[in-house]
Amino acid sequence: MKNEFLFGKHQEYRQPHLIPELTLEDIAPQWAARLEKVQHRFPFFMSLTWLKWYRELKYTSKCVVGEAHGHSSGYVYSCDECANIGFKFMYYFMLNWHRKLEQNKQRFVKHWNEKHRKNYLNNL
């Protein structure tokens, strides 16, 4: 696995300054795959897929940010930036704003790498 190679038993790979920045695929792989599909074909408004994804984006433990935080909603109380980003994923998805979704995804990855990467790596 990719993570085992990068973050395996070798202590030198556990030092954050030696590890390349994480991508959304590293942080939240399920949502990364979904958002990749959205770039090519957005689910039809109110279709079963759209309703399922929207419902999950509404629940803080199931949304993009919740997946990154281990399917926990605790980030809502501990990280205002993550809470704001999570809300915007739901909002932009609901309005079918592709460009804003992509910008929010980049904002989240940047924030995660700056604020949460060290804790994430230590928990692997």
In a domain, 80, yes or no: yes
On the question of pLDDT at 46 being above 70, the answer is yes
In a domain, 77, yes or no: yes
In a domain, 69, yes or no: yes
In a domain, 5, yes or no: no
In a domain, 1, yes or no: no
On the question of pLDDT at 28 being above 60, the answer is yes
- Write out the residue range of the structural domain in which residue 60 sits: 10-122
> Residue 4: which pLDDT band, with cuts at 50, 70 and 90?
very low
Q: How many domains does the chain have?
A: 1
> Residue 1: which pLDDT band, with cuts at 50, 70 and 90?
very low
Q: What's the chain's average pLDDT?
A: 86
Question: At 12, which amino acid appears?
Answer: E
On the question of pLDDT at 13 being above 80, the answer is no
Global pTM exceeds 0.75: yes
Q: What would the 3-class secondary structure string for 13-60 be? A: HHCHHHCCCCCHHHHCHHHHHHHHHHHHCCCCCCCHHHHHHHHHHHCC
In a domain, 45, yes or no: yes
Residue 35 burial by CB count (10 A; 0-12/13-18/19+): exposed, middle or buried?
A: buried
Task: Quote the pLDDT of residue 5.
Answer: 45
Task: Quote the pLDDT of residue 42.
Answer: 85
